A and B are shown apart, each in its own frame.
Chain A
């Protein structure tokens, strides 16, 4: 993540990056995309989707799991930036794609878009990978999501296994609606022959598209006749059809429940919800957004620069000093940008969400909302700032911005500063403190009294021996 000490410098660097972004309009983490098919021929079904990707500047290379040449890492470096898995019939994915390798791929900032299909069983490799991510698939590695209330009347009047859903809305109202923003009203999303997953409580997980309340998942092979309640894998909104996982290093993993929804025919098809008129599917736009998010084109945040300085009159306001004094007034500013497909734009907080600054040692001493300051903002970057008084406690503190939201790059910025105690000459002088006046007066009285006494003593001649002898000893 780009960080620099002086705003100017960082602005310059930032412009460089921005320029770079212009020439190849593509993901922020690179454009080498690997698509994994059983046989490469299948890619014809996805020509539009893949075409869109190439249109967005991705260089796609196609492989099958079996091929010897397939390797995610070359000499310890990532050979690809992103991977798409299309459904494969094989039981495992072979030695080149073990779960360990895939996790390492995530740890190395690689992104994975993984598609499922109820027609093919999912390879063990991916099952155990999902297990590591706290995502659970139906037993027997397959399942089918059906809904008898919101299905596509045109294609699946009988089987009810093609869901026709409205574009997804965020699960919480402080999450930005990346996937449903400005979608035309009445648009429907076709979700044919999909598999639903159940998500664990892990915070990195967020459902992009949840099944409607009336949907449920069953296993067509075994449970075709009757489905007992305790056999039910999951139902309703617990079923996540499209799932987003963002690791701590912001590497992204998307589990797309239905591969078919990316196929050309569903891009073009028309669907109709029961009792509704038929409309063109929203799939193409949705696929674009989901893939864009997965491959770091959407919801990518960047910290351009962080700056904090002394906010006091008669003080040298150098930028980012390493040490402050207790009860100093300081100002902290952080500049953020958001990436949208091909350019960096200024980041504006979602409605009813705030960006917070913590000033903490062991535990926060301050937790303040950062407010937008226009002065340092530009179309490409927006600066957020807060000014406050340091606590009356010396120690080693951190300016900490910890902004982790679903669908946004994790931002955890820590700037360490020392807060020192009052130096010996920074206290108010004694004569300024009214409480000290009596003591000062006392000192004065003693001194003058002593001087007077000495004077008297000197000028009073000894009367007789006795006094003299007293004086000497």
Chain B
């Protein structure tokens, strides 16, 4: 029985190479996309689950509201770790991470800048599954000035030597002893750390007493990532429930004084990557993209599956005779159904095999696109492969179901009379299927246009300053910070350098926030205001617009003491309207009984600046205050505006000057606009993914249309011949053949509009600055689908229409 099925199957396939090829290619490509997306999704979902304890690890975040301004951050105060361990019996252990930014590492003659390094408590290796290749996980981080490197760094600096006990110079010649080598963190880790300094180092820098201080003020500085390992069978909710008492004990008094309300955020480790939307978090994935990709996979598969159904039913009159004969000689309906199901399943399984081979070949490319390290193997990803086998069988079942049901219902008498079942209902369904295919394609096209436009928009939007040709570099050397003026002079000697300025935080990446007091009708009010400390050249260099008042002025020394420039949003937020100039503003507040409450600076507004996007465009512009200062501590970011020509020479010049001023640290730089582009990397990636997959879906749909139109043309050969003999022109005939398809494509586009509109609005609503969905997008989509559709259909139609009519009539 089986043998007979397969014989018919293969002979049928080989006799209809054209249709079989279209089907197999369509299904394979569909499966390739699905497998790739599946690997991606599976990897995203696997984040942090490599940790043996992942189910018991939680992160403490902070949700605080100061004068109506709410912030939700991924960080928590330093004392949370130890006090939580004391207060909550659910906590088994804690570990804190404090990032340290880019640092220069030096061993012998090897000297590089390194990123993703953090101070960590020694418990890190017991809580997380970061295996040590060398060193004792219990003790590696117990001593001050010890460092654990990952394998890559260890190789880089100690190539071959045993790194344990060696001295690594960090930054301005701080000596760390290497106490361990850990395996590189897996790629599906939300941590990207390459090395850990011991937390004890910070303790020894700051002094044990201050570091371990449980003074109220220590609880109000959120500068740590705190992770807790819960005891077996403990619930994180229990901590949340008991937190009010904790708050009462440690935080309430000062909180009330500051006017801050505080809520604890508890996140499970495995939710951090996809479901965390907190500030100051590691770059994370986005569950939305998982949904989008999954939808795309389903779309592409359904298009391929519809192709199969369409062609199988279109060719049904050819298969009908076979069905009739089988029935006459004794086949029951379910024999026939089984046969056609087997046929489609064999086809999809065959397509799956091709797809698996192609995925293997395409993975390196795809990895580059999604910036991952995905592999496909029975050993590493058995569930993916198993899932795909099931998927292929299911796909075969679904694709085969309609042709099978349809064909098996054919009555033998009809066929044996030579009356081919033309089937009106069948034609209607075919139309419906073509419409749904092109609906999906149209949605993909609109999606691509929108995603790409949004991406371009964010990159080219007027951000309120000119980000072009600005070289930025972080100044870590404290000596250099004191010599900025001399550095500026030296740099400006080069005619290609237009301006040099410094600031405390880098524009486009958020800033610092602190409590301010602002003047209002009810006296001075509190507000957590963003601020940036800049120098006198900064606003000019950035080409920002002063709307009212004046810029900071070197000639007016008091500017560094009591002058502020606020942005429009601040003027609006504080209800200053047109009268912002001269209003009082104070940076920081005095806190009774706390000495180290930070400096307080009272002054007035001398200028209002046009809003500029100091944060990534994913956030709305918030009120902001600019403070001018010559204090070296704030000169953390060097900005050099250069000529757009001769960049290379200019950069070499800057480097040369830098090396003269700061021989112990090499010059690391980037261009501001490149840095800002990195903020939109997820969108850029999505643009690519969308473009590629929508191209593929359109391709598969077109292939199906091509097959269908070939079939239709073939079926109507005789009719066309007669029409031609009667005087119809080729153009008329082509029109006759394509008219129907054009109608279907137009209908599909109309159906797609509301769905696309809804889905894309939802996506865009995440962006405070986004394009609007214009009608033009749908018009372009229609034109694109029509061009593609017409091109596909017209070729076959033209061939049929221009063939010799005599032959056509004879053809039976």
A and B pair up = no
Binding site for A on B (CB under 8 A): none
